[in-house]
Structures are given as structure tokens and as C-alpha cells.
């Protein structure tokens, strides 16, 4: 059988390889001139530093199957994401932990004392937080919220925190120890040769035809099934409207030596127009000392236009209603499955994208055993 996979990111690559290994022909199309999607990495021509072109990506997961899978296609070096934040001209460590609390309040509290102190700051009248702001005030109180989250969130989302769902903040940790590892997953690392090499190795199997700079709409072949990882609203010609996304602009600059001493610094004050600066040599500590120059990117967030790269699905009330209508159209469509961040209009980390693609492969195998191929429109409910 011949299949089409739209999108050469992790979702598409995993599905394509799985089908090719089972003897099928797979056409992988991507409008960009490269594979890897937003995880694309390349060597900066001026400095030699490995750059995450579409913003920092740190691999972290608790799923053993996902971790074992990616390691088959490249070497992952140990890497711990330690984020710093500048608020009101002071440097702090994130996520909010015991050091952050003691730094901010000028105290020397221990874990129990700090926990009780933060509980005294929290707004106990908020028993069922509905918005980002209510979630923050009920967790950490007004001082830490204003210092680290209010301005940053307004810049990142272009909305008041009262308009954003509480779920955005729920995934951010609050710790009463000195652990400044941003993630708490047991498996964390960075690919030694970058993410592009990982995706290339996944796609490097007989039976896959990768076509770059090619749109799905331009294809004329017939396929037994299409796995679509592009924007779900685009598949239907935006007939119900465009789903909302935030996009990012990057301002590149080069410096001698070491510019900021760490990979990522968040700028929490609203008067600073960018959300963070990333210094990419620090994402590869095993090689950072060999570069005499360093390359950094200031990151600006704004509402995505028609020709912008979509990064973060907004998923507010209007978008959710529109998404539900697109889901109905998708379920009625024959011969196509929607996958990944854009196909399901969900914010997904890399590991979740791969985990869901591997689970979809299991469903595909079961369906292949039937006399007639029947695959769902969604392997994960996007609603």
C-alpha cells in the first residue's frame, strides 16, 4: 500500500518509518526546505554553535518506550534545564523553589517554614481556580505572581492572565527544596548531533520518499490513507475560520565568549519587550568551550498571522468552539487521520508527540490485520 504523511516532524517521521518497515511505500511531504519541523537544529555558519532554529527544545520524558525509541536514532547527552529569571533588576532561579523564595523575600527558611510561609500568602478564598491568575494567587500569593508570572504571561500570550485557563499554570512546578531542574522527568537529555540528525535517521529507511518544499495540496497521487500533521483548519481550507495561535519572532545577535552564562534567562518585567534570551552554546555543554563566539536569540511573542509559523495554540473559548466544529468535519472525512500538535490543535512536548505516534502505530498494526483498512480520524481525542 502507499501512504502519505504530511509533515516531516517527529509525528510524521515515526509513522512513516513504521509503515516503511512493514513494506509499504510512504510519501512524506513538508512545505519547509528541511525536515524536523519546529525541532529543526543546524550549525550556525558564523559561530559553529548548534542552533535550535525555532526556539529551545529540551528532551524530557517519563515514558520508557519513548526514551528507548529516540536513543535508537542518536546519542543523547545528559542535560539539565536550569532556567534563570530577571525580575525588577534581580536574578532568580526558576522554577520557583526554596532558593527563589529565600532570594525574593530575603529569608533563610527551611522547607517546612517556607511551605507554611507560602501557604500564608496564598489566597485561600479561591477554592476552584478558573483562570491563570486565580491559579497563581491560590498557589503562591500576589508577590511571587506579580514578580515572575504576570508580566511574562501578558507578553507570551498577549492577554490578561484573567483570560487564560488555570491549566497553563498547573503544569509549572512549585518546590520547597533547592532543586532547580526545570523538569522532574527521569529521562532528560540533548541529542549530541542535534534533533535534525535524529529525525533524519528515523526517516532513513527504504520505502520513504521525502519531498521538501512540497505542499500536500499540490499532490496528485492517490493514497490508501493520509496521516496529516499540518493544521487541521488548513486541511479543510479554513472554511470555518482560522484557529488562533501565538507565533515567535527571534532577534539574533553574536557576542564574544559567554554572553549570559546560562542557556535561558526569562525577562519577567512587562516593560522589557522580549520574553527571554537563549544562548545556544549552553544547550551543548560538552562542546561549548571550543567556540570563541556565542550566538543568542531574543524571543518575542505575538499573535500569528496567515503567513506566520504557528507555535502555541490559544484554545480560548472561540477557538475551542471552532475546534469542535473542525473535529466533526474530520470524523466525517474518509481516509485521513489527524495527528500531532497542529493536527489536534494541542500544545505538545516532543516526548508526548512521539509517545502518541508510537501508540498510533499499535492501532495501525491492529487495523492492518483486518481485511479492510479502517483507521480513526484521531488516535487521541483533541477536545
Active site residues: 171, 175, 246, 276, 299, 347, 349
**Is residue 228 a contact partner of residue 235, using CB atoms and an 8 Å limit?**
yes
Q: What is 292-328 written as a DSSP string?
A: SEEEEEEEEEEE--TTSPP-EE---HHHHHHHHHHHH
Query: How many alpha carbons fall within 13 Å on the CB side of residue 250?
Result: 18
> Which residue, among 262, 252, 259, 261, has the nearest Cα to 81 in the 3D structure?
262
| DSSP code for 286 | T
Cα-to-chain-centroid distance, residue 367: 30
DSSP-H helix ranges across the chain: 10-21, 64-71, 98-105, 111-121, 132-144, 151-157, 167-170, 195-203, 232-235, 317-332, 340-344, 350-368
In the numeric block, the cell 552564562 is attached to 261
What is the 3 state secondary structure string of 23-58? Answer: CCEEEEEECCCCCCHHHCEEECCCCCCEEECCCCCC
- What does the alpha-carbon distance between residue 94 and residue 181 come to, in Å, rounded to a whole number? 8
* Measured CA distances, 321 to 7, 75, 120, 324, 339 (Å): 25, 42, 39, 5, 19
Grid coordinates given for 285: 555543554
* β-sheet bridge partners, residue 267: 86
- What does the alpha-carbon distance between residue 19 and residue 367 come to, in Å, rounded to a whole number? 12
* Measured CA distances, 42 to 121, 197, 239, 309 (Å): 45, 9, 36, 18
| 65 Cβ neighbours under 8 A, 6+ residues apart | 355, 358
- What does the alpha-carbon distance between residue 16 and residue 7 come to, in Å, rounded to a whole number? 10
In the numeric block, the cell 519572532 is attached to 249
| DSSP code for 131 | B
Amino acid at each position: 500500500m502507499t501512504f502519505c504523511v504530511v509533515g516531516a516532524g517527529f509525528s510524521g517521521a515515526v509513522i512513516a518509518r513504521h509503515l516503511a518497515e512493514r513494506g509499504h511505500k510512504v510519501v512524506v511531504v513538508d512545505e519547509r526546505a528541511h525536515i524536523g519541523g519546529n525541532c529543526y537544529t543546524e550549525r550556525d555558519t558564523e559561530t559553529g554553535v548548534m542552533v535550535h532554529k525555532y526556539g529551545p527544545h529540551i528532551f524530557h520524558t517519563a515514558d520508557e518506550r519513548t526514551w528507548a525509541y529516540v536513543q535508537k536514532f542518536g546519542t543523547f547527552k545528559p542535560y539539565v534545564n536550569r532556567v534563570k529569571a530577571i525580575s525588577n533588576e534581580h536574578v532568580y532561579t526558576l522554577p520557583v523553589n526554596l532558593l527563589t523564595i529565600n532570594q525574593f523575600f530575603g529569608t533563610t527558611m527551611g522547607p517546612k517554614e517556607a511551605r507554611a510561609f507560602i501557604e500564608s500568602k496564598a489566597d485561600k478564598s479561591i477554592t476552584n481556580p478558573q483562570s491563570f491568575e486565580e491559579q497563581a494567587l491560590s498557589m503562591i500569593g500576589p508577590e511571587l505572581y506579580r514578580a515572575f508570572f504576570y508580566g511574562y504571561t501578558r507578553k507570551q500570550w498577549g492577554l490578561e492572565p484573567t483570560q487564560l485557563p488555570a491549566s497553563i499554570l498547573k503544569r509549572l512546578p512549585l518546590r520547597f527544596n533547592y532543586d532547580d531542574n526545570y523538569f522532574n522527568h527521569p529521562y532528560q537529555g540533548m541529542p549530541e548531533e542535534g534533533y535534525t540528525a535524529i529525525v533524519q535517521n528515523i526517516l532513513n529507511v527504504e520505502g520513504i520518499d521525502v519531498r521538501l518544499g512540497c505542499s500536500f495540496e499540490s499532490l496528485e497521487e492517490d493514497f490508501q490513507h493520509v496521516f496529516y500533521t499540518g493544521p487541521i483548519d488548513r486541511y479543510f481550507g479554513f472554511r470555518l475560520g482560522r484557529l488562533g495561535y501565538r507565533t515567535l519572532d527571534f532577534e539574533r545577535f553574536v557576542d564574544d565568549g559567554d554572553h549570559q552564562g546560562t542557556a535561558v534567562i526569562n525577562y519577567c518585567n512587562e516593560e522589557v519587550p522580549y520574553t527571554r534570551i537563549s544562548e545556544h552554546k549552553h544547550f551543548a555543554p560538552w562542546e561549548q568551550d571550543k567556540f570563541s563566539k556565542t550566538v543568542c536569540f531574543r524571543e518575542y511573542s505575538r499573535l500569528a498571522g496567515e503567513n506566520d509559523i504557528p507555535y502555541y495554540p490559544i484554545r480560548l473559548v472561540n477557538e475551542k468552539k471552532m475546534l469542535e466544529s473542525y473535529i466533526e468535519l474530520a470524523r466525517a472525512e474518509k481516509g485521513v487521520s489527524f495527528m500531532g500538535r497542529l493536527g489536534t490543535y494541542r500544545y505538545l512536548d516532543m516526548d508526548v508527540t512521539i509517545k502518541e505516534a508510537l501508540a498510533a502505530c499499535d492501532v495501525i498494526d491492529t487495523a492492518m490485520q483486518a481485511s479492510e483498512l479502517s483507521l480513526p480520524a484521531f488516535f487521541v481525542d483533541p477536545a
